[in-house]
């Protein structure tokens, strides 16, 4: 039987796009507490089923497909620009294809305005009307209002007309920033992107005899299986070490390791990789908020995804991407690296940022280990002994030196020079991920 939390999520899924949702109403309709309803609505928001807008409320929206990462709904635009809805609330769930800045004559403006686009314009009532008739939403800048008949037209067509106190340039910059942030988020791989789903996962029940482990072991590529109770909640893990030498008629609950490490679907790949290296485990169960088994993620899944990421081009660049793209090995010595301090790598004083310095240390160390064919690293500790001010546009030489290396760990000393002068020194301790 589904839990109350799941029943509420199913109820939200059954609602029509554009429906308004409230904690009190759901609590009343499904006979649950307001606290339970609130938690389920927050989960629905995380899943992209609803959107909460200030001064409007929570509405059911269409869940966006992953390939539409560069698009926003009108509900999201309202949140970005801190605006208010003047009319057409029924269309807030719709997705905009592009936005147009209305800084031209009406005839020219209409050539660029089409259905599902967003016209950003000032208090030009005629432009508002023409855009709505074309099927385009309108965002009025400068905090201006519009005529009542325009609001009624927006309600009839279910096309949002909105207002914000920001100017046109600021609004365009804010929407561009939001799209850019989504491009960066697109590059982040989560557990549910690479996992083995529940239907294909191997698992055991707590009442199963140990001989069931031997049967699964013949079918699976790993020897570690989650153990679930009658409600499919993960209650333990069992490995070959737990069952060797034990009576095969004994129940799993007698030998399993209780309270195992688990992750959720939206846990990042980086976190799972660190957990597997740190704890030395090969399989981690994926659970929902009720601890019910949703699938598995294995070490092979993680390694395959890490290698795939390195081959993919970055679209939205983070600081780490900028550092990585600007560092390269010297031709005469492939273990020595060079980079240049770009404006994005500096602090407010115009010198190399401390955070970027640690990124340079990590990147140079990682490349040194790859050259030694030792695999990728997971940073355990970075000690910065000192860092001197380094001006913008300075050229730096980075010299990582392998002090000690074992099967699963490495210790690397890194020195950073500017024109043969030592400007920074650090020590990196890392655990290794075998390829």
The Cβ-side half-sphere exposure at 50, using a 13 Å CA radius, reads: 29
Quote the pLDDT of residue 54.
65
Tens digit of pLDDT for each residue in 259-309? 899 999 888 888 888 888 778 788 999 998 888 999 999 888 887 777 666
Give the whole-angstrom CA distance, residue 231 versus residue 63. Answer: 28
CB 203 within 8 A of CB 227: yes
347 contact partners, CB below 8 Å, separation of at least 6: 353, 354
CA 111 to chain centre: 37
For the cut 50, the answer to whether the pLDDT of residue 145 exceeds it is yes
Quote the pLDDT of residue 57.
77
Highest mean pLDDT among 153-157, 218-222, 242-246: 153-157
Tokens of 378: 């997971």
For the cut 90, the answer to whether the pLDDT of residue 360 exceeds it is yes
Task: For residue 74, name the pLDDT band (cuts at 50, 70, 90).
Answer: confident
Residue owning tokens 């990147």: 363
**How many angstroms separate the most distant Cα atoms in the chain?**
85
54 or 286, which is more confident: 286
What does the pLDDT average to over 213-234? 89
Give the single-character DSSP code of 406: -
Give the whole-angstrom CA distance, residue 128 versus residue 159. Answer: 11
Give the whole-angstrom CA distance, residue 40 versus residue 235. Answer: 23
The enclosing H or E element of 405 equals strand 395-405
Domain at 192-306, CATH homologous superfamily: CBS-domain (3.10.580.10)
Residue owning tokens 């909640």: 233
CB 157 within 8 A of CB 134: no
Task: For residue 66, name the pLDDT band (cuts at 50, 70, 90).
Answer: very low
* Helix (H/G/I), strand (E/B), else coil: 408: coil
Task: List, in sequence order, every beta strand (DSSP E) within 39-158.
Answer: 50-53, 57-60, 72-73, 84-87, 95-96, 98-101, 117-121, 137-140
Residue owning tokens 């988020």: 185
Give the whole-angstrom CA distance, residue 187 versus residue 65. Answer: 15
Domain 4-60 has CATH 1.10.10.10: yes
The enclosing H or E element of 30 equals helix 23-30
* Helix (H/G/I), strand (E/B), else coil: 127: helix
Q: Which of 262, 257, 252 is nearest to 292 (CA)?
A: 262
Task: For residue 362, name the pLDDT band (cuts at 50, 70, 90).
Answer: very high
Domain 66-187 has CATH 3.40.1390.20: yes
Give the single-character DSSP code of 48: T
What does the pLDDT average to over 219-242? 90
Give the whole-angstrom CA distance, residue 264 versus residue 48. Answer: 16
Quote the pLDDT of residue 67.
41
Give the start-to-end residue ranges of the domains of the chain. Answer: 4-60, 66-187, 192-306, 315-433
Q: Output the CATH code of domain 315-433.
A: 3.10.129.10
95 or 182, which is more confident: 95
For the cut 80, the answer to whether the pLDDT of residue 317 exceeds it is no
Least confidently predicted of 83-97, 143-157, 176-190? 176-190
Quote the pLDDT of residue 55.
65
Task: For residue 345, name the pLDDT band (cuts at 50, 70, 90).
Answer: confident
Quote the pLDDT of residue 2.
65
Q: Which of 189, 221, 183 is nearest to 305 (CA)?
A: 189
Task: For residue 68, name the pLDDT band (cuts at 50, 70, 90).
Answer: very low
Q: What sections of 123-281 are H helices per DSSP?
A: 125-133, 148-157, 168-187, 191-194, 211-219, 240-243, 252-255, 269-279
For the cut 90, the answer to whether the pLDDT of residue 225 exceeds it is yes
Strand partners, 293: 287
């Amino acid at each position: 039987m589904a839990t109350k939390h799941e029943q509420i999520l199913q109820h939200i899924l059954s609602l029509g796009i554009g429906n308004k949702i409230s904690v009190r109403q759901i609590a009343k309709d499904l006979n649950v507490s307001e606290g339970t309803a609130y938690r389920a609505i927050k989960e629905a928001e995380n899943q992209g089923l609803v959107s909460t807008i200030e001064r409007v409320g929570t509405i059911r929206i269409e869940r966006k497909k992953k390939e539409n990462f560069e698009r926003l709904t009108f509900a999201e635009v309202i949140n970005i620009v801190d605006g208010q809805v003047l009319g057409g609330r029924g269309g807030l769930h719709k997705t905009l294809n592009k936005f147009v800045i209305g800084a031209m004559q009406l005839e020219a403006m209409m050539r660029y305005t089409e259905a599902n686009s967003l016209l950003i314009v000032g208090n030009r009532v005629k432009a508002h009307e023409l855009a709505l008739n074309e099927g385009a939403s309108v965002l009025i800048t400068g905090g201006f209002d519009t005529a009542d008949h325009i609001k009624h037209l927006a309600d009839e067509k279910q096309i949002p007309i909105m207002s914000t106190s920001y100017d046109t340039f600021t609004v365009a910059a804010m929407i561009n920033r939001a799209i850019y942030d989504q491009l960066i988020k697109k590059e982040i791989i989560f557990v549910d992107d690479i996992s083995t789903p529940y239907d294909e996962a191997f698992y055991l029940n707590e009442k199963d005899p140990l001989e069931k482990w031997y049967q699964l072991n013949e079918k699976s590529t790993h020897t570690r299986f989650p153990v679930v109770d009658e409600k499919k909640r993960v209650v333990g893990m069992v490995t070959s070490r737990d069952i060797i030498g034990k009576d095969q008629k004994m129940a799993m609950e007698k030998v399993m390791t209780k309270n195992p490490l688990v992750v959720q679907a939206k846990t990042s790949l980086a976190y799972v990789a660190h957990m597997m290296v740190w704890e030395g485990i090969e399989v981690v169960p994926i659970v929902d908020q009720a601890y019910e088994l949703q699938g598995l993620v294995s070490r092979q899944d993680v390694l395959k995804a890490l290698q795939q990421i390195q081959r993919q081009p970055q679209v939205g660049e983070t600081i780490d991407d900028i550092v990585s793209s600007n560092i390269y090995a010297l031709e005469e010595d492939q273990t020595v690296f060079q980079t240049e301090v770009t404006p994005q790598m500096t602090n407010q004083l115009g010198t190399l940022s401390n955070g970027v310095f640690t990124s340079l240390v990590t990147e140079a160390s990682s490349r040194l280990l790859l050259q030694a064919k030792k695999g990728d690293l997971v940073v355990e500790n970075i000690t910065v002994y000192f860092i001197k001010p380094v001006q913008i546009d300075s050229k730096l030489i980075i010299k990582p030196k392998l002090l000690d290396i074992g099967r699963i760990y490495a210790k690397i000393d890194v020195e950073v020079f500017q024109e043969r002068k030592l400007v920074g020194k650090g020590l990196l301790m890392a655990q290794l991920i075998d390829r």
